[in-house]
Structure 1
């Protein structure tokens, strides 16, 4: 009896395709990290992350082959990685970067699982979610042991439950400056988005510093400026409530100007972070109950969207933007048939 194999849905194809692109990018970056990491406690974390991405590439390649779907080009050691480039990042930055990208991966795998129906695809993404959870857990332990983990602000424990008794609770705009204090949910999102923008700033600066392309340099510097501005806005909101914002060391990037990664890879990476940032802002806007915070997240999301769009245009101009699998253009197909 011939077994009828259920084909992948559009959601499953997009999830597998996106995973391949992300893991092929991560493998190049982590390979470079392995070349330069020196700390004996951080090296195992980098190796673990690299091994995860390498194993994922093999499994995803098998899925594409079994389903007879063309394998994405993605990113390769030959085309997108220069292992001869001098050291660009400190070990501390490598650890923070892996910890941050593990957070991005946790969100991605959760959504991939939710969009998948076929048992083997769900099993693959569930395994990826567990591996990424372990990576986040292990990297957090090392950050804590080295005193590098930046904890969210502490607040006094509540002594009783309460209910909102006035519409003034959501009003964040006041000429007299007597806004209600931030609640714990709003603090957590302001804190997290400050941290992610700090990492984004450093990455953008490192990519601008090493890119040989003037247009890429300008776009990366623009991204760094946007991230710095967003950090200032979120920091001000915390400081106005006498809450200490997260601190970050500037000792993260060396003075090397030799590019370890292709412009194609760095543009893709910043696009990935822009998408993750937009998602974070949307979640924060929905969770925040003070309307000044909601407005800030919405307008800053628009700024990120415009920045990401300009980056995509730059990739298209240089033929670096790989097209995801899509449906057949029936009108184009009909026109081509008429000309035969």
Structure 2
């Protein structure tokens, strides 16, 4: 493996840098396929512009990642390519969903790129992830502004601004054994709102994918995930409803009736796997900001259910021979034989 000179020293990539670059490449090549298909079926000019921008960013990242892998003499991951997208297939989503997809994908990627930056040490790798954050932040802003302009987004709930600073005086703030629980805190509402959007994206994807996949086991997996997402959405909506707060809109009507697959079953199954990871990340963040016991217990149960479902998906990928192996640490026991 080649090394990068920095401050007079030769620096090879660390395990964390390898892992983040590898993971980023798999995700970017998947998005490249998704945006390629979306662009063949979009009608709205502004949404088309945003899809083109998202696609250009993805291709830019793929090019840079290939340069890094080549320089480091690291085999370029297989990822996804032309065989995983059917350009001639009809649309399975509306233009409105494309816009929602861009925004939600940008939001989760901001989390992922920020994490990648904090576990990178080499200057060129930090610079790459820093540029990725700038790219995706601008895309998030543009897509959010477009959704607002088109009236396609329900803002997070408004609550009264406190008139004074207050401190918690009783454990009832955490949990009441008898009677109604206190109203949700702003930090808890944030978790509800984000996780509703995340689950609705996943649900819509699995509704669409369940219509077009032909393998029985993958179809059953998609239907199971659809129902799990619906269950989670209902639980989260009920928490908001009890405090008379609005929930984000459903995106199920933006799934069209096509039964023609626009992507390979490998890509669709892997996409759901990535969505599961994003959902677990969102719930984890939400859990850290939640103080009410009843909400924490519900989130913990949802995390357990999603983790089991995610594991089922990984097992399916392995059975199909589709799970690409990330870089591994040396097996010292094996080498010592």
**Fold-level match, TM-score > 0.5?**
yes
Preserved CA contact (<8 Å) 2:273 2:313: yes
Partner of 1:182: 184
1:118 aligns with 2:122: yes
Distance between the aligned counterparts of 2:243 and 2:308, measured in 1? 31
- CA distance in structure 1 between the partners assigned to 2:11 and 2:62 by the alignment: 23
* Cα offset, 1:269, TM superposition: 1.0
Question: In the alignment, which residue of structure 1 is the partner of 2:39?
Answer: 34
CA distance, structure 2, for counterparts of residue 249 and residue 193 of structure 1? 14
SS in 1 for 2:153: coil
Q: Identify if the C-alpha distance between structure 1 residues 280 and 249 changes in structure 2 by more than 3 Å, giving closer, same or farther.
A: closer
Alignment of 1:23-172 (within 5 A): 23-77=28-82, 79-171=83-175
Deviation at 1:175?
4.2
Change in CA separation of 1:118 and 1:249 when aligned onto 2, cut-off 3 Å? closer
1:165-224 residue CA offsets vs partner (Å, 9 max, x unmatched): 0111111x5443x21111111111111111111111000111111111111011011111
**RMSD of aligned alpha carbons:** 1.3
SS state at 1:160 partner: coil
Q: Normalization by structure 2: what TM-score?
A: 0.95
How do residues 1-340 of structure 1 correspond to structure 2 at under 5 angstroms?
4-77=9-82, 79-171=83-175, 174-176=177-179, 178-333=180-335
CA distance in 1, matches of 2:284, 2:98: 28
Match of 1:338 in 2: none
Deviation at 1:228, TM superposition (A): 0.5
For 1:277 and 1:249, the matched residues in 2 are separated by 17
Give CA-to-partner distance per residue, 1:231-286, whole Å, 9 cap, x none: 11011111111112222254311111111111111111111111111111111111
CA offsets, 1:285-311, max 9 Å, x none? 111110111111111111111001000
Deviation at 1:333, TM superposition (A): 4.3
In structure 1, C-alpha distance between the alignment counterparts of 2:308 and 2:323, rounded to whole Å: 17
Q: Where does structure 1 lack aligned partners over 5 or more consecutive residues?
A: 336-340
C-alpha separation in 2, matches of 1:221 and 1:28: 23
